Amino acid sequence: MLFTSTQVAPSKRLPNAGATRVAPPALAPGQRSSVAINLAPLQGILLSLTRSCAEALVKSVQHFEGEDAWGIGAMPNCSTPADNLEAEARSLLCNSLLTPDQTTDVTVCLKVAADLRAVARSAQQAAQLSWLFRQMPNATEATAIVLPVGEAACQVALRASEAVEKNDPLLAREAALLYRKVDVARIEAEQYLYSELGSHNLSPELRRMVLAAIWFMAIAGEAMARIAARVAL
């Protein structure tokens, strides 16, 4: 289970740079707080951010499918909220009044924040590469190589997001196991790129760009699979 101390509903809003921290006020040495530490806001932010990062990865893949950018819409800004979430979690870990379960929950939030940052940045980088593909010859073939990896990563992301929202270990296990498809698709794509046919059809520059896009998708899928694995434990 991802959260052991509390069960909360997802928050509808992500934090911004000026958001109020959830950390309690500092206490003098030996002073004990009579106010319970509420982790629900932190956990709610994590749930919303997980869903937002899954959406970002889906939109990144849509760029490789040739959809119009106006139809896809803007990529969600997930990197900054992920940084803020990590800062919130670190500030809470400095509080010695956390119960063991709360300490575990905050530590998990800290790890998930790092994974979500990887998803957000990988999705953004892959989307930017898709625009460069369109300026290159054989762009259609290049995007076709990346798509299977991206689509498999999207399956992991969407299933993992659902598992986190429901805090369902069985659903999370299924999401984590889906990463095998990402790995298989990545290996097949790399084998083609390094084959004689791939070297003939794609320029060295385009091959490097395709390889980078493949790895960005794989990294995003792996990060979401790690999040799902934590729910499954």
Q: Quick check: 187 pLDDT over 90?
A: yes
pLDDT digits (tens, 9 = 90+) for 6-42: 543 334 444 444 444 444 455 444 444 434 577 787 8
Within a domain: 221? yes
Q: Quick check: 222 pLDDT over 70?
A: yes
Instruction: Give the helix ranges, DSSP H, for the chain.
Output: 40-64, 69-72, 79-93, 100-133, 139-166, 169-177, 179-193, 196-201, 204-232
What is the DSSP code string of 108-122?
HHHHHHHHHHHHHHH
Q: Report how far residue 49's alpha carbon sits from residue 56's, in angstroms, rounded to the nearest whole number.
A: 10
Dihedral pair phi/psi, residue 208, rounded to 5°: -65, -40
Please tell me the predicted confidence (pLDDT) of residue 177.
96
Count Cα atoms within 13 angstroms, Cβ side, for 178. 26
Indicate the burial class of 183 (C-beta count within 10 angstroms; 0-12, 13-18, 19 or more): middle
Within a domain: 25? no
pTM for this entry: 0.81
Q: How many residues does the chain have?
A: 233
Instruction: Provide the pLDDT confidence category of residue 181 given band limits of 50, 70 and 90.
Output: very high
Within a domain: 93? yes
Q: How many domains does the chain have?
A: 1
Higher pLDDT, 215 or 33: 215
Cβ neighbours of residue 30 closer than 8 Å, sequence gap 6 or more: none
Within a domain: 28? no
Please tell me the predicted confidence (pLDDT) of residue 5.
59
Please tell me the predicted confidence (pLDDT) of residue 1.
60
Read off the CATH number of the domain in which 102 is found: 1.20.58.220
63 SS3 class: helix
Instruction: Provide the pLDDT confidence category of residue 59 given band limits of 50, 70 and 90.
Output: very high
Q: Report how far residue 70's alpha carbon sits from residue 7's, in angstroms, rounded to the nearest whole number.
A: 38
pLDDT digits (tens, 9 = 90+) for 200-213: 889 899 999 999 99
Please tell me the predicted confidence (pLDDT) of residue 175.
95
- Of the candidates 186, 153, 159, the residue with the CA atom closest to the CA atom of residue 175: 159
Expressed as residue numbers, the domain containing 142 is 40-232
Q: Quick check: 79 pLDDT over 60?
A: yes
Give the largest CA-CA distance in the chain.
72
Q: What is the CA radius of gyration of the chain?
A: 20
In this structure, are residues 172 and 225 in contact, taking their beta carbons and an 8 Å threshold? no
pLDDT digits (tens, 9 = 90+) for 123-178: 999 999 998 888 888 888 899 999 999 999 999 999 999 999 998 999 999 999 99
Within a domain: 159? yes
Q: Report how far residue 9's alpha carbon sits from residue 203's, in angstroms, rounded to the nearest whole number.
A: 50
Within a domain: 2? no
Please tell me the predicted confidence (pLDDT) of residue 33.
43
